[in-house]
């Protein structure tokens, strides 16, 4: 589903985040990216979602060369990818359900169908009681679950999560990881960047360690 | 098609929400636009009033033909026959007694008239030709002047020409002012939209990350520009209504002093429609220019 071939990403200023990375991720896999901060985990995720473009090499998603996508084609790629951010990136000028409706509005869904889907996914992350709340009133764990709900509402085949439990205490982190495992079991491909080793140990799955821009497979 | 309509509906609703979210800023922008537009619009209405007034007054050119004192009856009949032809709109005979009588009643000239031993004035025709081009007037005046029994002709069209030239100049000024203020309107709308885009930086960045197209992000801002322009047009209407109410009494008084009636003309429904359409268009244009530039700014500043 995802392929990296000799991918190098050099930022202006000369910092090389990835150097000659090769990897393949199959549909339905659960993959953890580990490595200390600055090792290139976020860069790797950004390349998959075409938020950044590789300096050289080929990044492909579902057979599309993502680094060469035209500006007009990028939105349609992103509609098939759910993104979960460490800082949630929620919009505080609208309530919980409106945040979840945003991807469906963008995709042009019928309002009634969109509401049905949004409620279902909010229920799945356990926020149905709070659907009219402003996200600022939610706890850190709830905000992260809301971010996940927004990422999942358009039923993407691929979910990318960048440090999803980075700001959370252990109890919330375990909740979130358990949720990810459930999604993986119904067929969603997950790539999760984290340095939470306990979560990796609890969930199992494939682990890739990034170190100085190189990828190393860790046998489980 | 249904999807497209749904997108438009969403975008329009979003634009309305954004307008309502900043009522004071929207109001001030509308007022700035309104004042700009009301200047050329008000000038236009004033000129229209003047132009109509000029049409009611004997603004059309006249030729006076003075008869020789010794003109014979046959010569007078021939002249009258010439003046009944189709190229003459109106011809009025002014016998010298009437001319003297009107001279006597004119202010300041009564003494002069009374002091005259006998009537020195000639009989005359006052002629209004159908054509009012200067060449045609002069040609006709010369033709009439060559008829036997006519002593002299005089073309009295200068003040009418000056008025027409003044009105034409006024209309040019309206066009120039309207263009300038149209540009101002585009600039005001562009600034409003720029502020809106910057205020919605987070929403734009998040929308991009979850698959919004350029068009989807731009659309509410374009509607917002058009709505803002429309509000500006309405504000201009308000400014003119207030100005009209304030000016009506003094203008009517001035009109009475000139022995005439100057009703201030309110704009017609068509004119209001055209102005609102244009202001919406210019607001939209300003948004169009501004939004792409500002979006690039928002995207590069991460």
In this structure, the answer to whether residues A108 and A15 fall within a common structural domain is no
In this structure, the answer to whether residues A13 and A56 fall within a common structural domain is yes
Which residue of chain B has the CA closest to A70? B213
* Residue A73 maps to a domain: yes
* Residue A1 maps to a domain: yes
Cβ A75–B203 below 8 Å, yes or no?
A: no
Whether B232 has a pLDDT exceeding 70, the answer reads: yes
Cβ A102–B207 below 8 Å, yes or no?
A: yes
Q: What is the DSSP string of B31-49?
A: HHHHHHHHHHHHHHHHHHH
Q: How confident is the model at residue B38 (pLDDT cuts 50, 70, 90)?
A: very high
In this structure, the answer to whether residues A111 and A43 fall within a common structural domain is no
What average pLDDT does the segment B171-198 reach? 91
Q: How many domains does chain A have?
A: 2
In this structure, the answer to whether residues A133 and A167 fall within a common structural domain is no
pLDDT of B301 reads: 54
What average pLDDT does the segment B214-231 reach? 93
In this structure, the answer to whether residues A54 and A150 fall within a common structural domain is no
Judge whether A53 is closer than 8 Å to chain B, CB to CB. Answer: no
Asked if A58 and A65 count as a contact pair (C-beta separation under 8 A), the reply is yes
Whether B222 has a pLDDT exceeding 60, the answer reads: yes
* Residue A203 maps to a domain: yes
Judge whether B155 is closer than 8 Å to chain A, CB to CB. Answer: no
What average pLDDT does the segment B212-228 reach? 92
Relative to beta strand A30-34, strand A189-193 is parallel
Cβ-based contacts of B7 with chain A (< 8 Å): 108
Could you report the per-residue pLDDT of B248-280, keeping only the tens digit for each? 888 888 877 776 666 777 888 999 999 999 999
Query: Where in chain B are the domains?
Result: 2-56+162-300, 62-156
Which residue of chain B has the CA closest to A94? B203
pLDDT of A153 reads: 93
In this structure, the answer to whether residues A123 and A215 fall within a common structural domain is no
Q: How confident is the model at residue B108 (pLDDT cuts 50, 70, 90)?
A: low
What average pLDDT does the segment B17-39 reach? 89
> What is the distance between the alpha carbons of residues B46 and B38, in angstroms, rounded to a whole number?
12
pLDDT of B259 reads: 67
In this structure, the answer to whether residues A72 and A166 fall within a common structural domain is yes
In this structure, the answer to whether residues A69 and A167 fall within a common structural domain is yes
Residue that is last in its domain, among A120, A138, A155: A155
> What is the distance between the alpha carbons of residues B253 and B251, in angstroms, rounded to a whole number?
5
Cβ B210–A76 below 8 Å, yes or no?
A: no
Asked if B30 and B124 count as a contact pair (C-beta separation under 8 A), the reply is no
> What is the distance between the alpha carbons of residues A166 and A163, in angstroms, rounded to a whole number?
5
Neighbours of B215 (CB within 10 A): 12
Least CB-CB distance to B209: which of A83, A105, A154? Answer: A83
In this structure, the answer to whether residues A139 and A168 fall within a common structural domain is no
pLDDT of B20 reads: 86
> What is the distance between the alpha carbons of residues A60 and A5, in angstroms, rounded to a whole number?
8
Least CB-CB distance to B216: which of A51, A106, A150? Answer: A106
Q: How confident is the model at residue B157 (pLDDT cuts 50, 70, 90)?
A: low
Domain range for residue A69? 1-80+159-220
Long-range pairs for B211-214 at CB < 8 Å and ≥24 separation?
Answer: B211/A75, B211/A76, B211/A77, B211/A78, B211/A79, B211/A103, B211/A106, B211/A107, B211/A154, B212/A75, B212/A106, B213/A72, B213/A75, B214/A71, B214/A72, B214/B295
pLDDT of B106 reads: 65
Q: What is the DSSP string of B48-85?
A: HHHHHHHHHTT-S-EEEEEEPTT--HHHHHHHHHHHTS
What average pLDDT does the segment B190-219 reach? 90
The top-level CATH class assigned to B62-156 is alpha beta
Judge whether A73 is closer than 8 Å to chain B, CB to CB. Answer: no
CA distances in angstroms from B168 to B38, B47, B162, B267, B274, listed in the order given: 20, 9, 10, 20, 21
Q: For A82-91, B131-140, B207-216, B264-273, which range has the lowest pLDDT when averaged over its residues?
A: B131-140
Residue that is last in its domain, among A103, A127, A155: A155
Using the structure block, give the residue that is written with the tokens 């203008």: B251
> What is the distance between the alpha carbons of residues A42 and A52, in angstroms, rounded to a whole number?
10
Token pair for residue A177? 């990881």
Could you report the per-residue pLDDT of B182-194, keeping only the tens digit for each? 999 999 999 999 9
In this structure, the answer to whether residues A4 and A74 fall within a common structural domain is yes
pLDDT of B189 reads: 92
Cβ A79–B210 below 8 Å, yes or no?
A: yes
pLDDT of B70 reads: 81
Could you report the per-residue pLDDT of A176-194, keeping only the tens digit for each? 888 888 889 989 999 999 8
Cβ B6–A91 below 8 Å, yes or no?
A: no
* Residue A107 maps to a domain: yes
Nearest Cα residue to B91 out of B100, B82, B99, B103: B82
> What is the distance between the alpha carbons of residues B213 and B299, in angstroms, rounded to a whole number?
13
> What is the distance between the alpha carbons of residues B229 and B95, in angstroms, rounded to a whole number?
63
H or E element, residue A89 = none
Q: How far is A86 from chain B (nearest CA, A)?
A: 13
In this structure, the answer to whether residues A106 and A210 fall within a common structural domain is no
ipTM, two decimals: 0.87
Along chain A (220 residues), what's the average pLDDT of each consecutive run of 10 residues? 93 89 93 87 93 93 92 92 91 93 90 93 90 91 92 92 83 83 90 84 84 85
Q: In what order do the strands lie in the sheet with B88-94?
A: B88-94, B124-129, B62-67, B150-156
Relative to beta strand A158-162, strand A81-84 is parallel
More reliable by pLDDT, B258 or B59: B258
The enclosing domain of A53 has a CATH number of: 3.40.50.300
In this structure, the answer to whether residues A67 and A167 fall within a common structural domain is yes
Relative to beta strand A214-218, strand A206-211 is antiparallel
Nearest Cα residue to A59 out of A122, A98, A132, A9: A9
Whether B57 has a pLDDT exceeding 70, the answer reads: no
> Could you tell me the end-to-end alpha-carbon distance of chain B, in angstroms, rounded to an integer?
35
Asked if A140 and A90 count as a contact pair (C-beta separation under 8 A), the reply is no
Could you report the per-residue pLDDT of A6-47, keeping only the tens digit for each? 999 999 988 889 999 999 999 999 999 998 887 889 999 999
H or E element, residue B297 = helix B269-300
Residue that is last in its domain, among A129, A155, A181: A155
């Amino acid at each position: 589903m995802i392929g990296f071939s000799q991918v190098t990403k050099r930022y202006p200023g000369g910092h090389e985040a990835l150097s000659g990375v090769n990897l393949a991720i199959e549909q339905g896999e659960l993959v953890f990216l580990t490595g200390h901060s600055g090792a290139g985990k976020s860069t790797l995720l950004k390349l998959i979602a075409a938020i950044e473009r590789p300096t050289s090499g080929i990044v492909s998603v579902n057979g599309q060369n993502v680094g060469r996508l035209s500006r007009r084609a990028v939105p349609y790629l992103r509609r098939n990818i759910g993104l979960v951010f460490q800082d949630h990136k929620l919009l505080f000028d609208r309530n919980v359900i409106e945040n979840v409706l945003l991807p469906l509005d963008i995709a042009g869904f019928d309002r009634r169908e969109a509401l049905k889907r949004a409620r279902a996914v909010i229920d799945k992350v356990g926020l149905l009681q709070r659907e009219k709340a402003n996200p600022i009133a939610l706890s850190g764990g709830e905000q992260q679950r809301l971010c996940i709900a927004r990422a999942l509402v358009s039923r993407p085949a691929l979910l990318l999560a960048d440090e999803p439990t980075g700001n959370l205490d252990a109890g919330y982190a375990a909740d979130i990881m358990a949720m990810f495992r459930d999604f993986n079991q119904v067929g969603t491909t997950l790539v999760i960047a984290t340095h939470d080793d306990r979560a990796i140990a609890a969930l199992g799955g494939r682990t890739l360690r990034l170190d100085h821009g190189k990828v190393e497979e860790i046998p489980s | 098609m249904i999807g497209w309509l749904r997108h438009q509906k969403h975008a329009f609703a979003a634009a309305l929400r954004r307008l309502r979210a900043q009522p004071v800023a929207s109001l001030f922008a509308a007022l700035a636009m309104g004042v700009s537009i009301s200047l050329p619009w008000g000038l236009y209405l004033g000129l229209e009033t003047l132009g109509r007034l000029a049409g009611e007054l004997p603004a059309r050119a006249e030729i006076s033909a003075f008869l020789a004192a010794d003109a014979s009856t046959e010569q007078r009949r021939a002249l009258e026959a010439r003046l009944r032809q189709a190229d003459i709109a109106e011809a009025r005979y002014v016998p010298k007694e009437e001319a003297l009588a009107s001279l006597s009643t004119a202010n300041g000239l009564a003494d002069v008239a009374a002091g005259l031993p006998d009537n020195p004035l000639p009989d005359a025709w006052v002629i209004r030709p159908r054509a009012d081009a200067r060449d045609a007037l002069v040609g006709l005046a010369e033709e009439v002047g060559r008829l036997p029994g006519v002593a002299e002709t005089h073309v009295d069209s200068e003040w009418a020409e000056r008025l027409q030239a003044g009105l034409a100049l006024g209309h040019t000024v309206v066009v120039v002012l309207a263009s300038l203020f149209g540009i101002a309107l585009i600039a005001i709308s562009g600034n409003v939209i720029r502020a809106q885009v910057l205020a919605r930086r987070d929403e734009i960045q998040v929308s991009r990350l979850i698959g919004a197209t350029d068009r989807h992000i731009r659309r509410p801002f374009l509607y917002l520009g058009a709505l803002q322009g429309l509000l500006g047009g309405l504000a201009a209407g308000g400014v003119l209504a207030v100005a009209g109410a304030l000016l009506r009494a003094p203008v009517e008084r001035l009109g009475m002093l000139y022995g005439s009636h100057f009703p201030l003309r309110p704009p017609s429904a068509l004119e209001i429609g055209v102005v609102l359409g244009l202001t919406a268009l210019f607001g939209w244009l300003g948004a169009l220019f501004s939004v792409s530039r500002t979006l690039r700014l928002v995207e590069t500043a991460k």
